[in-house]
C-alpha cells in the first residue's frame, strides 16, 4: 500500500526532521546513520516513513523533538511500533543490536522517496530480534529480515495507493 504525504504532512516532516537532528547533535548524540546519504535525507526519510505509517494505520505519530533513544514511533492496537524507512525498494527490515535492550513490540518497514512511501510489511520483536537474523551489511552487526518474511495485517497488503486531494477535502469541509 502506497501513501503520498499531504502538504501539511510534508511541512511537519521537514520541521520534525530538522528539529530532531539539531536536538540530537546539541545533546551530543553521535550520528549513527548507515550509508553515504545526506543527514537531511536520512532524517527526512525516517520521519516521512513514520508519518506515512501512522496515516495508513490511523494512529498518531510521536511528535517528540528531543532525543528519542529507545523510543517507539507509534502505538497501534496497544503494541509499540518502531517504523523503519528506506529509499531502497528492496530494502530489508533492519534493527541495531541495541534494540534488543529496549525493543518495540513490532517493527514496520516503509520504503520510498519523500514524500511517497510504500508499506512493505512488519515483524514482531520475537521474529526480528533473534540470533538467526544477525548479519553485517558493512556497518557493523545488526538484525535483518527480508521483505518476503514480513507479514501484513488484514487489508494492508494490497498495492493500492492512498492519496488525499487536499483542495477537494477542504472544499467539502467548507474551508474554501
Convert the pLDDT of each residue in 121-173 to its tens digit: 999 999 999 999 999 988 889 999 999 999 988 766 645 454 444 454 444 44
Mean pLDDT of the chain: 86
Please, what are the domains in the chain? 2-148 (3.40.600)
**Residue the block writes with cell 474554501:** 176
Whole-prediction pTM = 0.84
Quick: pLDDT tens for 18-62. 998 898 888 887 766 666 777 788 899 999 999 999 999 999 998
Torsion of CA 141, 95, 69, 104, to 10 degrees: -140
Q: What angle do CA 140, 144, 149 make, to 5 degrees?
A: 170
Amino acid at each position: 500500500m502506497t501513501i503520498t504525504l499531504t502538504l501539511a504532512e510534508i511541512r511537519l516532516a521537514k520541521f520534525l526532521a530538522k528539529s530532531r537532528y539539531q536536538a540530537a547533535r546539541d545533546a551530543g548524540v553521535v550520528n549513527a546513520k548507515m550509508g553515504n546519504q545526506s543527514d537531511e535525507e536520512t532524517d527526512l526519510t525516517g520521519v516521512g516513513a513514520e508519518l506515512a505509517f501512522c496515516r495508513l494505520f490511523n494512529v498518531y505519530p510521536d511528535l517528540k523533538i528531543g532525543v528519542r533513544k529507545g523510543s517507539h514511533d507509534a502505538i497501534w492496537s496497544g503494541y509499540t511500533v518502531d517504523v523503519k524507512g528506506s529509499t531502497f525498494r528492496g530494502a530489508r527490515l533492519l534493527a541495531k543490536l541495541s534494540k534488543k535492550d529496549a525493543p518495540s513490540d513490532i517493527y514496520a518497514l516503509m520504503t520510498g522517496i519523500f514524500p511517497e512511501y510504500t508499506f512493505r510489511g512488519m515483524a514482531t520483536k520475537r521474529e526480528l530480534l533473534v540470533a538467526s537474523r544477525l548479519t553485517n551489511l558493512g556497518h557493523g552487526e545488526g538484525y535483518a529480515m527480508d521483505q518476503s518474511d514480513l507479514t501484513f495485517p488484514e487489508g494492508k497488503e494490497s498495492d493500492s495507493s492512498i492519496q488525499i486531494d487536499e483542495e477537494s477535502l477542504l472544499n467539502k469541509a467548507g474551508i474554501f
